Structure 1
Amino acid sequence: MSGDGGAEEVLDGLSRHARKLVAELAGPVRRVRLRSGETVLEVEWHHPVPPAPAPRAEADPVTAPRVEPVPVADRPAVRSPVVGTFYRSPEPGAAPFVVVGDVVRPGQVVGIVEAMKLMNEVAAGQAGRVVEVLVEDGKPVEYDQPLIALEPLTGRDA
């Protein structure tokens, strides 16, 4: 047997795990990355973007309140490092890692994403104040999905 036979077996195993993981997940998968030792399998799909719904005409623009939330893309956020299930606390019944109003520092754990029975810590990449938790506890998340919206710290917060 050549030296590549072991790597092929590992790659075949990773491929089986990837197929099983994708089959078990709800919703479209954008990226899967699995590693075993030095062998890495990464698969990325490019899904077509559905067209935006046509704007509806307001029946009575005077009574309809105009709310313009800050788009998630325009504010800093802590994002999911993997596809999996998001948990706000280290175990059921425990206090969440962070709540709205908390100040987080770079590297601070703000949640967990479970993927293939592995618990992956989600850490803040920058300092900020938590302004919104964007995903409910126990809900599936996609790779790079915003989980926690942050407001950058000002001089008085730092």
Structure 2
Amino acid sequence: MRPAELPPRSGAGGGEDRDDATRSLQEEIVDLARALPGPLRRLTVRSGDRSVEVEWAADVVVAPAAAPAAAPASGALQAVTPAAATAPESPAAAPEVPEGTVPVRAPLVGTFYTAPSPGAEPFVRVGDEVEAGQTLGIVEAMKLMNPIVADSAGVVTEVRVGDAESVEYDQVLLLLRPPGGSR
């Protein structure tokens, strides 16, 4: 089913004005999806402060969009451009995992945090020894904090993502050298 074929949701109360607002929002979303370059992997819309998240298919390079000619009318849908909406890296440019290290990957799309709270010491630093089950960081997704834990013991050799950076599914967050591995 295409977005244009979706019937508007009817809300409790508000009557015809609510249906018109929903229909208007739906039309804006469909127009936005058609105007975006390349095939989309995901388009998420939130009604709360009206934000839009766009994720392109992995093999598409997205050029930065031109600035809009005029500001949208009051109450119009505002597109939020996340840092991740810039051109994705090609598979050939993706950093490889050095031999003798174990990658710790992001289990979901979100924001990576190196510490339990702003200003706190990071969970781990390069050179730290970690145990299986130890928290290495947090990925926040949809207001939920998801701990990133070590699957096995090792020494942190590299942290590839900075604090509060957006991460993609399966992205390498940090590297561990197993105990007894080469230095």
TM-score by length of 2: 0.50
Q: Find the counterpart in structure 1 of residue 150 from structure 2.
A: 124
1:88 equivalenced with 2:132 (yes/no): no
1:72 equivalenced with 2:101 (yes/no): no
Deviations 1:118-146 (A, max 9, x none): 11101011111001100011100011111
Q: Find the counterpart in structure 1 of residue 64 from structure 2.
A: none
- Give 5+ residue unaligned stretches, structure 2: 1-42, 61-88
User: Among residues 33, 44, 59, which one is paired with 1:19 in the alignment?
Assistant: 44
Alpha-carbon distance in 1 for matches of 2:126, 2:162 = 13
Q: What is the aligned length?
A: 106
1:78 counterpart SS class: strand
Q: Find the counterpart in structure 2 of residue 114 from structure 1.
A: 140
1:134 equivalenced with 2:163 (yes/no): no
Alpha-carbon distance in 2 for matches of 1:51, 1:113 = 23
User: Among residues 85, 105, 124, which one is paired with 2:131 in the alignment?
Assistant: 105
Alpha-carbon distance in 2 for matches of 1:129, 1:46 = 31
Alpha-carbon distance in 1 for matches of 2:163, 2:140 = 12
1:148 equivalenced with 2:174 (yes/no): yes
- Give 5+ residue unaligned stretches, structure 1: 1-17, 30-44, 54-69
Give the Å deviation of 1:78. 1.1
Residues 52/98 of structure 1: CA separation in 2 closer, same or farther (3 Å cut): closer
Structure with larger Rg? 2
RMSD of aligned alpha carbons: 3.1
Q: Find the counterpart in structure 2 of residue 6 from structure 1.
A: none
Alpha-carbon distance in 2 for matches of 1:145, 1:89 = 19
Alpha-carbon distance in 2 for matches of 1:104, 1:77 = 14
In structure 2, give the amino acid aligned to 1:92.
P
Give the Å deviation of 1:52. 5.0
Alpha-carbon distance in 2 for matches of 1:111, 1:81 = 12
2:44 counterpart SS class: helix
Alpha-carbon distance in 2 for matches of 1:52, 1:117 = 33
